[in-house]
A = this chain, B = another copy of it.
Amino acid sequence: MPIQSINARNQFRGRIKEIIDGPVVSEVDVETPHGIVTSVITTRSVKDLQLRVGTEVLALVKATEVSIAKL
């Protein structure tokens, strides 16, 4: 079902650079203009969304999931 917009404040647009498949979860590495963003999602989702190297995606993160470290 197409979604108009989502609450995730942090959205990183890019293309999939690599997928590491596992039996339950897979790692999806997204190349964005400012570096790689890494995601771990279910392997079923990788198949359902037909994700492949080169697919254009949005990596999304809820604000409550972001930690802050001081340098």
A residues with a Cβ closer than 8 A to B are: 1-13, 20-28, 30, 32-42, 44-46, 48-51, 55-71
Contact = CB atoms under 8 A, between A and B. Distances in A.
Give the number of times this chain occurs in the complex, counting copies: 6
Given A27-B63, A44-B27, A68 B38 contact: no
A2 B2 contact: yes
A13 B6 CA distance: 13
A69 B60 contact: yes
B9 A49 contact: no
Nearest to A50: B70
Contact of A7 (B20, B22, B41, B61): B41
Contact of A28 (B26, B36, B68): B68
